[in-house]
């Protein structure tokens, strides 16, 4: 059975949670490999909606084992809260979740530092989720992080936590911002450690043994390619590598063990937070996309910025990820448009550009060149096969695949589990 990596090819919020839920029917193991509780993966099952932040979406399918691997930064309090919520709704979590002993832990002081840095940046702020993701990865790279393995040794955990909390409180005092109530926080963490410690193990061994035994493994990416810390629209990015390559470093599975990469793309584009967005529409069409697509952040509730499909950015993203297959989501949101547009090139300082520039300042200045296609003005929400789609919708999809160099694998036409279908050869 194959090992598949599933990643977002835009700015996040492509609908990965839903596609992962669809694919987990055939998966033994679902593995998160980067990011933290900045992610918000929405899955609708029947009348119920679940938003997962740290726990892999596979938890909603019986029979899958779910792994939070070493590349993820884990807030123990947020993870305990998510576990409690799911257990309360009848999902059996503790038996089917494993936490890598090498995960770096994220604490309240990281969130406070995130908010402080954003406030310092003023107009130039990144628009982070304020979940402390950047400061937690910074501590990891600075070699002062605290890893999940210490959850099994509460005395050592307490010593390490108090030392780091003291360090941060010292900075906060000098910056004249509120400090962390260490006693109160430690009490919550001590309780969290007792819940999480039994889940902690060397997940690099677990994942490699599963691969060797021929199990089907799904690696669940969070955020999207243009938020990648190396390749994204820096500095308006997240602090992890979000591309498929991170599935190796974030889990300990070697590159040649990965069989395929599926890229998730929305039928149009959205972005939440600050930073360049070439096809952004600050007009009634953008508002219509937001309204029809319910484009509000699953983690922060912020309205998402909306625009047409950007084939320049997506083709580059497909290359970075080696995405051969595409999962196209939210096609139904375009149902009511008389015509639809695709950005096929940018204009930059009088030149035509067909590859994404490196410099965010240049990306902010490009002007998109559009190709217009007729809309389909028909309801696609009950389609269950590719052939059910109106010809104009199929023509639109064919053009997206042609421009981005991918093969269509999956289409999603609504939020429900039964509104997703595979596409044959
Ligand atoms: P951070 O990851 O909280 O540091 O935020 C950095 C940037 O990534 C901001 O623009 C966020 O809005 C964006 N971001 C982080 N996580 C997600 C996500 O899951 N979906 C979409 N955007 C995200």
Question: Which element (helix H / strand E) includes 8?
Answer: strand 3-8
Contact 297, 127 (CB under 8 A): no
Superfamily of domain 266-422: Adenylosuccinate Synthetase, subunit A, domain 3 (3.90.170.10)
pLDDT range class, residue 43, cuts 50, 70, 90 = confident
Summarize pLDDT for 321-346 with one digit per residue, the tens: 999 899 999 999 999 999 999 999 99
pLDDT range class, residue 381, cuts 50, 70, 90 = very high
Which string of DSSP letters, residue by residue, matches 189-244? HHHHHHHHGGGEE-HHHHHHHHHHTT--EEEE--S-GGG-TTTSSTTSS-SS--ST
Q: Same topology for domains 3-100+198-261 and 266-422, yes or no?
A: no
Mean pLDDT of 210-238: 97
Which residue(s) pair with 372 in the sheet? 341
Which residue, judged by its Cα, is nearest atom 21 of ligand 1? 12
129: Cβ below 6 Å to ligand 1? yes
Alpha-carbon gap, residue 184 to 306, rounded angstroms: 41
* Residue partners of 414: CB distance under 8 A and separation at least 6: 332, 381
Residue 85 CA, ligand 1 centroid: distance in Å: 23
Domain 3-100+198-261: which CATH class?
alpha beta
Q: Is the pLDDT of residue 94 over 70?
A: yes
Which residue, judged by its Cα, is nearest atom 12 of ligand 1? 273
pTM greater than 0.75 (yes/no) = yes
Lowest mean pLDDT among 39-53, 205-219, 346-360: 39-53
* Closest to 54 (Cα-Cα) out of 69, 66, 68: 68
- pLDDT higher for 152 or 273? 152
* Closest to 239 (Cα-Cα) out of 356, 71, 70: 71
> What's the confidence (pLDDT) of residue 425?
57
Alpha-carbon gap, residue 17 to 52, rounded angstroms: 8
Tokens of 251: 């889990």
> What's the confidence (pLDDT) of residue 349?
95
- Say if residue 388 is exposed, middle or buried (CB neighbours under 10 Å; 0-12, 13-18, 19+): middle
Alpha-carbon gap, residue 182 to 93, rounded angstroms: 29
C-alpha dihedral sign at 63, 84, 107, 20: positive
Q: What is the CATH number of domain 105-196?
A: 1.10.300.10
Give Cα separations from 114 to 106, 131, 235 (angstroms): 12, 7, 14
Compute the mean pLDDT over every residue in the chain, rounded to the nearest whole number: 96
Q: What stretches of 302-372 show up as alpha helix (H) in DSSP?
A: 311-321, 360-365
> What's the confidence (pLDDT) of residue 1?
61
Which residue, judged by its Cα, is nearest atom 15 of ligand 1? 38
Contact 127, 238 (CB under 8 A): no
Alpha-carbon gap, residue 188 to 200, rounded angstroms: 18
36: Cβ below 6 Å to ligand 1? no
Among this protein's residues, is 355 annotated catalytic? no
> What's the confidence (pLDDT) of residue 177?
86
pLDDT range class, residue 25, cuts 50, 70, 90 = confident
Mean pLDDT of 365-381: 97
Q: Across the chain, how many H-helices and E-strands are there? A: 12, 20
Among this protein's residues, is 13 annotated catalytic? yes
Atom of ligand 1 nearest to the CA of 222: 19
> What's the confidence (pLDDT) of residue 299?
78
Give Cα separations from 1 to 257, 259, 326 (angstroms): 11, 9, 19
227: Cβ below 6 Å to ligand 1? yes
Give the CA radius of gyration of the chain.
Answer: 21
Residue 370 CA, ligand 1 centroid: distance in Å: 27
pLDDT range class, residue 47, cuts 50, 70, 90 = confident
* Closest to 375 (Cα-Cα) out of 386, 364, 389, 361: 389
242: Cβ below 6 Å to ligand 1? no
* Closest to 306 (Cα-Cα) out of 339, 328, 330, 335: 330
222: Cβ below 6 Å to ligand 1? yes
Summarize pLDDT for 154-202 with one digit per residue, the tens: 999 999 999 999 999 999 998 888 999 999 999 999 999 999 999 999 9
Question: Which element (helix H / strand E) includes 109?
Answer: helix 108-121
Alpha-carbon gap, residue 337 to 315, rounded angstroms: 24
Q: Where are the domains of the chain?
A: 3-100+198-261, 105-196, 266-422
pLDDT range class, residue 424, cuts 50, 70, 90 = confident
Which residue, judged by its Cα, is nearest atom 23 of ligand 1? 223
pLDDT range class, residue 302, cuts 50, 70, 90 = confident
Which residue, judged by its Cα, is nearest atom 5 of ligand 1? 128
Summarize pLDDT for 414-423 with one digit per residue, the tens: 998 899 999 9
């Amino acid at each position: 059975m194959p090992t598949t990596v599933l990643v977002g090819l835009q700015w996040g919020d492509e609908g990965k949670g839903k596609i992962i839920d669809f694919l987990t029917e055939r998966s033994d193991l679902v593995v998160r490999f980067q990011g933290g509780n900045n992610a918000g993966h929405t899955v609708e099952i029947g009348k119920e909606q679940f938003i997962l932040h740290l726990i892999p979406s596979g938890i909603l399918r019986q029979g899958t084992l779910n792994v939070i691997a070493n590349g993820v930064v884990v807030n123990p309090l947020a993870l305990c809260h998510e576990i409690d919520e799911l257990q309360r709704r009848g999902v059996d979590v503790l038996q089917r979740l494993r936490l890598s002993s090498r995960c770096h832990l994220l604490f309240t002081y990281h969130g406070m530092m995130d908010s402080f840095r954003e406030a310092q940046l003023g107009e130039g702020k990144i628009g982070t989720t304020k979940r402390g993701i950047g400061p937690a990865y910074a501590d990891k790279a600075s070699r002062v992080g605290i890893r999940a393995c210490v959850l099994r040794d509460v005395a050592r955990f307490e010593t390490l936590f108090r030392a780091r909390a003291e360090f941060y409180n010292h900075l906060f005092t000098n910056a004249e911002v509120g400090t962390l109530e260490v006693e109160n926080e430690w009490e919550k963490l001590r309780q969290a450690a007792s819940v999480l410690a039994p889940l902690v193990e060397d997940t690099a061994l677990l994942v490699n043994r599963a691969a060797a035994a021929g199990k089907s493994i799904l690696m669940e990416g969070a955020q999207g390619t243009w938020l990648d810390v190396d390749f994204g629209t820096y500095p308006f990015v997240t602090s992890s590598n979000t591309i498929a390559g991170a599935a190796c470093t974030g889990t300990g599975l070697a590159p040649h063990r990965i069989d395929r990469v599926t890229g998730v793309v929305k039928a149009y584009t959205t972005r939440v937070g600050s930073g360049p967005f070439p096809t952004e529409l600050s007009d009634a069409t953008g508002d219509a996309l937001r309204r029809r697509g319910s484009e509000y952040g699953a983690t922060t509730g912020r309205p998402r910025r909306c625009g047409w499909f950007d084939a320049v950015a997506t083709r580059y993203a497909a290359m970075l990820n080696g995405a051969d297959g595409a999962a196209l989501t939210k096609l139904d949101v375009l149902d009511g448009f008389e015509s639809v547009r695709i950005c096929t090139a940018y204009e930059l300082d009088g030149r035509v550009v067909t590859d994404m520039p490196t410099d965010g300042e240049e990306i902010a200045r490009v002007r998109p060149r559009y190709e217009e296609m007729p809309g389909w003005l028909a309801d696609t929400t009950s389609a269950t096969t590719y052939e059910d789609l109106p010809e104009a919708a199929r023509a639109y999809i064919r053009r997206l695949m042609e421009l981005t160099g991918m093969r269509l694998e999956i289409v999603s036409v609504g939020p429900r589990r039964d509104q997703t279908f595979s596409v044959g050869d």
